[in-house]
């Protein structure tokens, strides 16, 4: 991370959050100054006492905070209200933007040296944030791109057609600045953002080819449920019963995309 960007990871590891939720505090490049300082927080994470407290500690001396959410999932925005409350008790002020709780964002909106990029796909309200500072570029991607794993696109809030377009949009936003650093919502921080985008696109296209092959083996009169079963059996193999609803939602997003482009 460039100077003035602090990475704070929540201790909430799981299959969905990987090593935990990544929160980011962005101050001036020379650090937090006493009095009158402005800062940004990207994704305060879940309402977990220790994690929100760590963010408050990182914001001491800051009087004006914008809390920027990448999307509405609780492991990203759950701690926003508590963070605002604690900052207010300390004499500061904070506003929340995006997600379910915040002020609506506008594509291209600027917060200091951070720009909003609409990025629907993982969820309908997903956004990314691009920081440009003294030649450094960082993409704060939420759950659209992860560090070391693939993103979860689950119907109906997740939309694979939108997601594939979002990969193109993010690539276009970064293509003039090779070396842009990935700051994901979960997983490892510091990857090459453009390389990750390319790998994600390749992975999605390969998976769609597998789905097409599985559908080709299904009866021509198969209904939606039978198509989902055919894809799960042909692509995902033996899925644990506890995971099947999540996998069904992923397959439904794949089938919705193929239907939209006229292949189902």
Domain ranges across the chain: 5-192, 206-260
pLDDT of 32 higher than 80: no
Angle between helices 224-231 and 193-216 (to 10 degrees): 120
Q: Is the pTM of this model over 0.85?
A: yes
Whose CA is closest to 76, among 153, 23, 131? 23
Give the model's pLDDT for residue 224. 85
pLDDT confidence band for 264 (50 / 70 / 90): confident
Specify the DSSP class assigned to residue 147: B
8 A C-beta contact, residue 99 and residue 106: no
8 A C-beta contact, residue 160 and residue 257: yes
Mean pLDDT of 134-140: 95
Q: Is 214 strand, coil or helix? A: helix
Mean pLDDT of 229-247: 87
Give the model's pLDDT for residue 34. 46
Write the pLDDT tens digit of every residue in 55-97. 999 999 898 999 999 999 999 999 999 999 999 999 999 999 9
Whose CA is closest to 48, among 11, 85, 99? 11
User: Under CATH, what is the fold of the domain 5-192?
Assistant: Metallo-beta-lactamase; Chain A (3.60.15)
Write the CB contacts of 160 (distance below 8 Å, at least 6 apart in sequence). Answer: 121, 153, 204, 253, 254, 256, 257
How far, in Å, CA of 28 to CA of 132, rounded? 12
How far, in Å, CA of 38 to CA of 256, rounded? 43
Give per-residue burial for 62-89: e unless 16+ CB within 10 Å, then b.
bbebbbbbbbbbebbbbbbebbbebbee
CA torsion sign for 103, 105, 110, 113 is positive
Average confidence score pLDDT of the chain: 93
Tokens of 161: 């057609």
How far, in Å, CA of 213 to CA of 231, rounded? 9
pLDDT confidence band for 36 (50 / 70 / 90): low
pLDDT of 24 higher than 60: yes
Give the model's pLDDT for residue 239. 79
Of the two residues 232 and 237, the one the predictor is more confident about is: 232
pLDDT confidence band for 213 (50 / 70 / 90): very high
| Pure H helices in the chain | 49-58, 74-77, 80-89, 160-174, 193-216, 224-231, 244-260
pLDDT confidence band for 29 (50 / 70 / 90): low
């Amino acid at each position: 991370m460039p100077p003035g960007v602090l990475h704070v990871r929540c201790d909430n590891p799981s299959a969905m959050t990987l090593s935990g939720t990544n929160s980011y505090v962005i101050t001036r490049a020379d650090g937090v100054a006493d009095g009158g300082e402005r800062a940004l927080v990207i994704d305060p994470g879940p309402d977990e006492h220790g994690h929100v407290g760590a963010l408050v500690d990182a914001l001491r001396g800051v009087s004006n905070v914008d809390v920027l959410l990448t999307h509405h999932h609780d492991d990203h925005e759950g701690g926003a209200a508590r963070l605002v409350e604690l900052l207010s008790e300390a004499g500061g002020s904070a506003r929340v933007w995006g997600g379910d709780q915040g002020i609506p964002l506008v594509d291209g909106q600027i917060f200091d040296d951070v720009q909003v990029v609409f990025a629907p796909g993982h969820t309908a309200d997903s956004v990314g944030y691009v920081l440009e500072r003294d030649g450094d570029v960082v993409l704060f991607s939420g759950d659209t791109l992860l560090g070391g794993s693939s993103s979860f696109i689950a119907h109906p809030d997740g939309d694979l057609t939108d997601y594939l377009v979002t990969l193109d949009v993010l690539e276009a936003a970064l293509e003039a600045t090779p070396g842009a650093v990935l700051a994901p919502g979960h997983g490892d921080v510091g990857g090459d953002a453009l390389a990750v985008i390319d790998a994600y696109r390749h992975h999605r296209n390969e998976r769609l080819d597998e789905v097409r092959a599985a559908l080709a083996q299904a009866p021509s009169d198969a209904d939606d449920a039978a198509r989902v079963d055919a894809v799960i059996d042909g692509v995902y193999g033996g899925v644990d019963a506890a995971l099947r609803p999540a996998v069904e939602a992923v397959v439904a997003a794949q089938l919705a995309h193929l239907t939209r482009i006229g292949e189902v």
